[in-house]
A = this chain, B = another copy of it.
C-alpha cells in the first residue's frame, strides 16, 4: 500500500482556490503515494466529482441518522463522494466515546478513518480503537516551521512502535510542521506511513514548487 500524502485545507481559502490547489496536487499525483485532500463538508461534493485524487471530510459525528440537526453523518459524507474523514483533529476534538462510534460508523459506510493524536499515549489510545490511521500532531508544532519529524523524532518513532504493539494493522501518519521533501522522507524513515499537512501546501508562496519538493520525499 502506498504511503499517504494528505493535505488538510482547513477553512483557509474559498472553494475556487481549493479547486486550484487540488488540481495542482492531482497534476503531481504518482503511484509512489496516495494523494488526499481534506475539505469543509459543504465542499466535498463539488470537489469530489471533479477530482481523481481522494477527497476526505474534516470531521464526522457519531450518528447513523435521525433527529440530529446540524450533525455530519458518515452516511452523508459517503453520499457526496468522500473517501474517508479526519476524526478528532486538534481544532475539533471529540470525546473518546464519540471517536469510537464514529470509527465504527465510518467503517460501515466504507470510509477511511484518520484519527488525530497529540502525543504517544493518545496515539496508543486511538490505536486501541482500530482506525485505519493515527495521525500524530503535537499541537505546539501545528502551523509552525519545524516538522515534528525533525523537532521530536522520538514522538513519531515511539508512536509507531506503540501503535503497532496495540494493533499492527493501524497505520501512522506524521503531521505538524511538514513543509519539505526532507521532512516527508524523514517521517517515512521513522516508520510513518504518510504525512498530514496543511499550511505547507495551502499557504505556499509557490504552490507547484512546494508540492514538487514535498512529493520528492516519497521517492525512495
Contacts and interface: CB of A to CB of B under 8 A. Distances in A.
A158 interface: no
23 contacts: A10-B67, A11-B63, A11-B67, A11-B68, A11-B71, A11-B75, A42-B42, A42-B57, A42-B79, A59-B69, A59-B70, A67-B143, A70-B91, A93-B98, A94-B96, A96-B96, A96-B99, A96-B126, A97-B118, A97-B122, A100-B122, A121-B128, A121-B130
Contacts of A73: 11, 40
Contacts of A76: 11, 15, 40, 42-43
Query: In this complex, which of A67, A90, A198 has the most chain B Cβ atoms within 10 angstroms of its Cβ?
Result: A67
A122 B122 CA distance: 12
A107 interface: no
Contact of A95 (B65, B69, B94): B94
Contacts of A63: 11
A70 B92 contact: yes
Nearest to A81: B42
A8 B66 CA distance: 12
A89 B77 contact: no
A110 interface: no
Interface of A: 8, 10-15, 38, 40-46, 57-59, 63, 65-73, 75-77, 79-80, 82, 86, 88-100, 117-119, 121-122, 124-130, 142-143, 166, 198-199
A204 B44 CA distance: 30
Query: In this complex, which of A8, A46, A63, A100 has the most chain B Cβ atoms within 10 angstroms of its Cβ?
Result: A100
Contacts of A128: 121, 124-125, 127-128, 166
Contact of A198 (B67, B82, B124, B130): B67
Nearest to A63: B11
A85 B145 CA distance: 37
A14 to B, nearest CB: 6
Contact of A92 (B69, B82, B99, B125): B69
